[in-house]
């Protein structure tokens, strides 16, 4: 039976970008997809956009919540797929074959998680690449040097959420990083790399929206490192410094 993939979208007041995001999910060549949309009580027309794509959405809720990680946890609780991943309201798949590539990597039963490359694009023009995050092959030791996979490309077998928990909502910005450390470092799961761009992510996300957010993100990253026993200030410094080459490399053409 084909791999069943749950894709969760958490959204709040993103009427201007959500349509492109939803269309990229519903246009995937991999058809065995459960799309779950968790709206945080939008008031800007987001629900009208969602209604245009309602036929391809398996589960929709709309109510106020305490933040994006609460919404994602709600989506995880609803998910019934073999594998869970996320499509944020400002992002989109890089090609119609992205989920097909991810499903192919999960054909190996020893693989617990799959990730790929990501490009950052201009907020106003999703065709203009600003930064290319080439993730590279997974080596657990690289986590101590600040390496991490791009979370929007990170797909995990659903059973691992039951075993190791979902997002820790004490974190406001870095719960995704904490969760990846919990799985990749502490639980020592096996992750496979798909060497191509899977997701296009708009600049101006939560972690880099302001200087205050960037400082808060670094503080939370440091806490996550310490709590997961992976390092301290040196790891934090490397995590930030190693991002610089991403601004000088351009993505290979999407296949």
The pLDDT of residue 231 is 79
What is the torsional sign of CA 142, 103, 36, 80? negative
pLDDT band with cut points at 50, 70 and 90 for residue 50: very high
The more confident residue out of 77 and 126 is: 77
Of 29-33, 125-129, 133-137, the one with minimum mean pLDDT is: 125-129
pLDDT higher than threshold 60 for residue 206: no
pLDDT, tens digit, 9 for 90 and up, residues 56-73: 999 999 999 999 999 999
Q: How far is CA 3 from the centre of its chain?
A: 19
pLDDT higher than threshold 60 for residue 183: yes
CA distance 255 to 243: 25
Q: What average pLDDT does this structure show over 158-182?
A: 97
Longest C-alpha distance within the chain, in Å?
48
pLDDT, tens digit, 9 for 90 and up, residues 78-104: 999 999 999 999 999 999 999 999 999
Number of C-beta neighbours around residue 101 at 10 A: 19
Question: DSSP code of 55?
Answer: G
Whether the CB-CB separation of 39 and 47 falls below 8 Å is answered with yes
pLDDT higher than threshold 70 for residue 223: yes
pLDDT higher than threshold 60 for residue 114: yes
Q: What is the pTM of this model?
A: 0.90
Query: The domain at 5-247 falls in which architecture?
Result: Alpha-Beta Complex (3.90)
What is the phi/psi pair of residue 60, to 5°?
-135, 130
Tokens linked to 4: 């069943």
Q: What average pLDDT does this structure show over 33-48?
A: 97
The pLDDT of residue 245 is 61
* Torsion on CA atoms 132, 136, 142, 143, rounded to nearest 10: 60
CA distance 7 to 9: 7
pLDDT higher than threshold 60 for residue 113: yes
E-state strands within the chain: 5-11, 33-39, 59-62, 83-86, 91-93, 113-121, 129-133, 155-157, 191-202
The pLDDT of residue 255 is 43
Q: What average pLDDT does this structure show over 228-241?
A: 80
For the chain, which residues make up each domain, given as ranges? 5-247
Whether the CB-CB separation of 8 and 87 falls below 8 Å is answered with yes
Q: What average pLDDT does this structure show over 115-139?
A: 93
CA distance 6 to 157: 10
Q: What average pLDDT does this structure show over 167-176?
A: 96
Tokens linked to 220: 């939370």
Q: What percent of the chain has pLDDT over 70?
A: 91
Instruction: Return the half-sphere exposure (C-beta side, CA atoms, 13 A cut-off) of residue 127.
Output: 0
Q: What average pLDDT does this structure show over 3-29?
A: 97
What is the phi/psi pair of residue 86, to 5°?
-130, 145
């Amino acid at each position: 039976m084909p791999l069943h993939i749950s894709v969760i979208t958490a959204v709040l007041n993103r009427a201007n970008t959500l349509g492109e995001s939803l269309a990229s999910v519903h246009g995937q060549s991999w058809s065995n997809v459960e799309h779950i949309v968790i709206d945080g009580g939008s008031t800007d027309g987001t629900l009208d956009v969602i209604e245009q794509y309602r036929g391809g959405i398996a589960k929709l809720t709309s109510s106020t919540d305490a933040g994006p990680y609460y919404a994602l946890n709600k989506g995880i609780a609803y998910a019934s797929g073999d594998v869970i991943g996320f499509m944020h309201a400002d992002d989109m798949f890089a090609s119609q074959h992205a989920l097909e590539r991810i499903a192919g990597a999960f054909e190996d039963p020893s693989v617990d998680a799959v990730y790929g490359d990501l490009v950052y694009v201009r907020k106003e023009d999703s065709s203009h690449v600003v930064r290319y995050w080439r993730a590279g092959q997974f080596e657990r030791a690289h986590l101590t040097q600040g390496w991490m996979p791009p979370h929007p490309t990170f797909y995990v077998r659903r059973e691992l959420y039951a075993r190791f928990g979902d997002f820790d909502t004490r974190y406001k910005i870095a719960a995704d990083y904490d969760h990846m450390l919990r799985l990749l470092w502490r639980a020592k799961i096996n992750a496979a790399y798909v060497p191509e761009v899977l997701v296009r992510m708009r600049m101006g996300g939560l972690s880099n929206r302001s200087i205050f957010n960037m400082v808060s993100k670094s503080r939370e990253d440091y806490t996550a490192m310490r709590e997961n026993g992976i390092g301290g200030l040196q790891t934090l410094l490397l995590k930030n410094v190693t991002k610089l080459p991403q601004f000088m490399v351009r993505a290979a053409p999407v296949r």
